[in-house]
Amino acid sequence: MKVLANFEDNLKIPTNSRIDDLLNGGFEKGTVTQIFGPPSSGKSNLTLFLAVTVAKTGKKAIYIDTEGGISIDRIKQIAGDDFTDVANNIMVFEPTSFQEQGENIGAIELWLRKNHDSTDVFILDSAVALYRVDDMKSSRLNKELGKQMGKLSKIARSYDIAVVVTNQIYNSFDDEGNNDIRAVGGMVLQYWSKVIIQLERGEETDQRIATLKRHRSIGEGRQVVFRITSRGIS
């Protein structure tokens, strides 16, 4: 028998930041959360902060860095005096092609079969960076993207892990010339992402705005404002 109050607490990973207010407690386990926004909107800062938060609890955080931009110095800043313990609990993969990205996800899935109890979060930053530079035909790319996202969704549900993917944006103009900001990956990423958060820069240099675009139990449009700091986010 499960005690519902305790069970509810174990369904989410708190960040002890305003993001918890946005998500009613933190990032959900067992589902895929997509974070999208323009460059320098805070996507990598937020996911690194989440990875360090998990690692500090003694749990494993898996991090696929597709843009080669993960900063050890930034992790040291966020982790502070706990850096050594944190570093031992973050597994980093750096694929150089979209195909290798898929191979990494497959290898991680095999590893999780025996190690899922020690793992809380799986981060893919960014899901489409290598997709956009790959020379495969668009139909094959979309098929491979769907395959990867399906595997991530299966990992989240099978092993009760929070899967978080970051995504880029592009500008789309309608017939009347109106500008519409959209996430890359189209319906493929949208279908598999059960929670979607949009990040934007605020008026001040370190200020960011997070808007909830999709959630199964929270209304669309909820917003919080947070800041990028030397210790992560606040």
State the pLDDT confidence band at 1, using cuts at 50, 70 and 90: very low
Taking the C-alpha atoms of residue 12 and residue 7, their distance in angstroms, rounded to an integer, is: 10
Quick one: which H or E segment has residue 118? Answer: none
Taking the C-alpha atoms of residue 129 and residue 38, their distance in angstroms, rounded to an integer, is: 13
Q: How many CB atoms lie within 10 A of CB 11?
A: 15
Contact predicate 61/70, CB 8 Å: no
State the pLDDT confidence band at 137, using cuts at 50, 70 and 90: low
pLDDT of residue 3: 41
Taking the C-alpha atoms of residue 4 and residue 46, their distance in angstroms, rounded to an integer, is: 29
List the one residue out of 113, 107, 115, 128 whose CA is nearest residue 43.
128
In the structure, how many helices (H) and strands (E) does the chain have?
9, 13
Kindly state the percentage of the chain with pLDDT values over 70: 86
pLDDT of residue 229: 92
Q: What is the DSSP string of 21-75?
A: HHTTSSEETTSEEEEE-STTSSHHHHHHHHHHHHHHTT-EEEEEESSS---HHHH
pLDDT of residue 136: 60
What is the chain's mean pLDDT, rounded? 88
The DSSP call for residue 199 is: E
Q: Which structure tokens are listed for 137?
A: 């035909």
- Helix-strand-coil split of the chain, %, nearest 5: 40, 30, 30
The pLDDT tens digits of the residues spanning 186-224 come to 788 889 999 999 999 999 999 999 999 999 889 999 999
pLDDT of residue 139: 77
State the pLDDT confidence band at 6, using cuts at 50, 70 and 90: very low
- Please list, in sequence order, all residues whose beta carbon lies within 8 angstroms of the beta carbon of residue 13, skipping any fewer than 6 positions away: 26, 27, 29, 50, 53, 54, 120, 121, 162
More confident: 183 or 82: 82
The pLDDT tens digits of the residues spanning 85-121 come to 999 999 999 999 999 999 999 999 999 999 999 999 9
The pLDDT tens digits of the residues spanning 47-68 come to 999 999 999 999 999 999 998 8
Say which range, 32-36, 54-58, 149-153, 166-170, has the weakest mean pLDDT: 166-170
Q: Which structure tokens are listed for 223?
A: 């917003």
pLDDT of residue 183: 66
Q: Which structure tokens are listed for 132?
A: 């956009």
pLDDT of residue 151: 98
Size of the chain, expressed as the number of residues it contains: 234
pTM of the model: 0.90
